[in-house]
Amino acid sequence: MISTAIRTGVVLVGIALIAALAYLVYLDRLITNTFEGRRWSMPALVYAQPVELYPGAALMLADMIEELDRLGYAPDANLANPGTYAQRGGQLDIHLRAFEFLEAARASQRIRLTFNDRGIHSVGDSNGRPIPLIRLDPLSIGSFFPSHGQDRLVLQPDQVPALLTGALIAVEDEKFEDHHGFDLKGIARAAWVNLTAGEIRQGGSTLTQQLVKSYYLDNRRTFERKLKEVAMSIILELRFSKTDLLNAYVNEIYLGQDGVRAVHGFGLGAQFYFNKPLGELQTHELATLVAIIRGPSYYNPYRNPDRTHRRRDRVLAKMFEANLIELEDLEQSLVEPFHVVSGARSGGAYYPAFMDMVRATLSKSYQQDDLTTAGLRVFTTLSPRTQDAVEQALLETIGKLETARSLPAGDLQGAVIVANTQTGEIEAISGGRTAGVDGFNRALNARRPVGSLVKPVIYLAALERGYHLASIIQDAEVTLPLRGSEPWTPKNFDGEVHGPVPLVRALGDSLNLATVNLGLAIGVDQIADRLAALTGRRPQNTFPSLLLGAESMTPLEVLSLYGTFASGGFNMTPKSVVAVLDEQRRPLARHHFELDQRIDREHARSIGRALEIVMHNGTGKSSRFARVGVAGKTGTSDDYRDSWFAGYDNQRIAVVWLGFDDNRSTSMTGAAGALKVWDAVFSRLSVQPLATPDSTWEEIEYSTGLVANDSCADIVSVPLPIEAEPATKSGCGISLKRVADRLGRKFKKWFD
């Protein structure tokens, strides 16, 4: 009987040992594979476009200092280290950081800028030699880390200051070099200190245990989880060197939260809290980061600055006790004001809406693993200055509109996308009213009815069929029978019927009846074909309501359409990525301009001029830039659900949409809502006026299309074909010069 019990016990013990061994083998494989994968995973780093400095650049001294502050450059009269600058009157000395650009690596160097009332006057090196062009290091705007919601800047051991690793060991794990993954004495000591202090002053976990928790485990405090943590820590210590473990810790440890984005690692932590590379942090700033890791929520420097300040000073004292810093450094660090940058948009800036565009672009050429593990460097078109202008303008203007119109605070949404008119490079994207927040990207994905934004396509089709801007069309009532429902009877916004009007006024005043009559004369199918040719996407609606914009598009698609008008008829695919380099800094791809002429030059010139007149005389005339030389078009969908504006100057084009996500009415037209956001964006940027009207253009009366002059009518200058013979307004004689110009152009055409 006893022997049977013994045998049973031996068998059970054997099974338990085998099970334990199997579990340890499982843990070993799990830990080894995960650690190796994470250790060598180098997420793609994404950079904004760098600011170019050259004589004549339209950057004022204040703008330049703002750019340097954005990059985390600090004032320093001695320019002792890279990442510093010194201002002396209208002169700015900068100690540039080293950076590996697309073409070549640039070492750190000192430069001097002088300014005048137009911007940068001169650029020179430290010896006074002129520099024709030099660039600031570009802003890092994100990375593609495999874990959803996490972000980090992965550092190699040689990029980590020795003072940081020393401080981590001194503060978090004094026995790091000696233990094998856990420290029983440390656990007991920490428990006693915390109990007697009444707050968390010491942690009992080793650095290895903290790494295990970050890599593999949740935050449940159970005995089973603690045993698993210890077992995994021992395996990590057996498998990997202390150097490997410490570097993984530096890159992995959780340091705070930026909305839905988790900030991991000291590389990103330095950017997030101090807007500087880790290597440029001062002793007291390093101590602040080490203080935060004990509890990123408890020691949150934004919510609990006093508590975090006290913790920082204890870390500094610990660093002194461990002989990591001298007494002079300790005393100086203790008197340094406690400071972190003012919010997440100032440090470690994150641009989720723009990153969505970059991700979509790269996904066409690269696998997800390439983006998360291959160490790619992605250079993009984002302009942080333009992005800041967009974010501020959108948030502030939406708030004012909600107040003025008694709309529910916080509900109105918006999207803005800005691009260069000559290259199609996207400079800024806001996918919602709140900056830096992951979520539904309305700029790329919100497909909403565009209203009158579609009208220029109809007028372009008319120009291509022999009409011109002075052609007379009928603004007359329309009734179209619809099978199974009431007849369609569109109305003008003002409820009036205006009779015969010139084409330029019909578009300028956005007359619905004139537009429908013109579109029906051309043919709805032909309009749909023209829209498809311009956008690359066949409209879903091929009924007459298409003529008034009952077709849904995204702001990005509208940008592509209006970008063709802005560039003189050339379609340029909106572009967010310039080039991609591999881990060895070799170019994998360059994203060149893609030009495709979709509108004849003369017709593009006419439709562009008509869109200028929209701003000067028509629905856009409430803009503060109406008479500066800009072009654009308002759009409003049925029941005022969507407020749109697309407009451009000689340098940039911007598309704005405002509306509610639940599709209820905003009570705003395009001019009353989206145009105000557009104005606010461009008031923060330098407007580059479009070219002045050609001296050969014809002066016609805006309301009638008759040839006139400014002494007898409200006139607009428009390009007309040679064969056009508009009548002259009674009492408005044409100058002899005008007659001579017209005859001269006719003779020139005959002999060409």
- In the annotation, is 280 catalytic? no
- Whole-number Å distance between alpha carbons of 693 and 6: 105
- In the annotation, is 452 catalytic? yes
- Whole-number Å distance between alpha carbons of 667 and 133: 49
- CA Rg, the chain, in Å? 33
Q: Which amino acid belongs to residue 220?
A: R
- Whole-number Å distance between alpha carbons of 17 and 11: 10
Distance of CA 739 to the CA centre of its chain: 52
* Cα–Cα distances in angstroms (integers) from residue 617 to residues 623, 633, 702, in the given order: 11, 12, 8
Phi, psi of 201 (to 5 degrees): -110, -25
- Length of the chain in terms of residues written: 752
Place of tokens 């705070």: 256
Angle subtended at Cα 487 by Cα 483 and Cα 489, rounded to the nearest 5 degrees: 145
DSSP state of 32: H
- Whole-number Å distance between alpha carbons of 153 and 551: 43
Long-range CB contacts (< 8 A, 24+ apart) of 179-185? 179/206, 179/208, 179/237, 180/234, 180/237, 180/238, 181/206, 181/208, 181/209, 181/230, 181/233, 181/234, 181/235, 181/236, 181/237, 182/206, 182/208, 182/209, 182/230, 182/233, 182/234
Q: Are 642 and 657 in contact (CB under 8 A)?
A: yes
- Whole-number Å distance between alpha carbons of 396 and 698: 42
Tell me which of 67, 172, 391, 698 is the catalytic residue. Answer: 172
Distance of CA 639 to the CA centre of its chain: 31
Q: Which amino acid belongs to residue 527?
A: I
Tell me which of 452, 567, 637, 703 is the catalytic residue. Answer: 452
Place of tokens 């009158």: 452
- Whole-number Å distance between alpha carbons of 419 and 427: 5
- Supply the residues annotated as catalytic: 172, 452
